[in-house]
Amino acid sequence: MKKLLIAVCVLLSAMTFSSMLLASVMKYEESGPVLPMPQASDLTDDQLLEIGIKVWQNQCGLWDHPGKVTHDMKKGIASWEADYALIGIGQYIWYPADEDKNFQENWPRVAQALKDKGYPIEDWMLEACPWNNSEEFFADFNGDRLKSLRKMLAKKALVIEQARCIAARLDESLDKMKAAIDAESGITDEEKTALKQMLSDHFYQVATDDYPRGLYSLMDYVHFKGEGVLPTETINGVGWGLRQALEQMDDKIVAKKGAVAAFVDTTIAMFLSRETNEYFKDRMETYLTFNPDKVK
pLDDT digits (tens, 9 = 90+) for 134-147: 899 999 999 999 99
Is residue 276 within 8 A of residue 235, CB to CB? The reply is no
Distances (CA, A) of 3 to 10, 19, 108, 265: 10, 25, 40, 19
Q: Of 214-218, 222-226, 235-239, 291-295, where does mean pLDDT reach its minimum?
A: 291-295
- Which pLDDT does position 191 carry in this prediction? 93
- Which pLDDT does position 72 carry in this prediction? 64
Q: Where are the domains of the chain?
A: 22-43+173-296
Q: Return the amino acid letter for 202.
A: H
Q: What is the 3-state secondary structure (H, E, C) of 91-124?
A: CEEECECCCCCCCCCCHHHHHHHHHHCCCCCCHH
- Which pLDDT does position 116 carry in this prediction? 94
**Higher-pLDDT residue of 224, 286:** 224
Closest to 6 measured CA to CA, from 289, 295, 288, 291: 288
- Which pLDDT does position 213 carry in this prediction? 85
CB atoms < 10 A from the CB of 116, how many?
Answer: 10
Judge residue 141's burial from the number of C-beta atoms within 10 Å of its C-beta, 0-12 exposed, 13-18 middle, 19 or more buried. middle
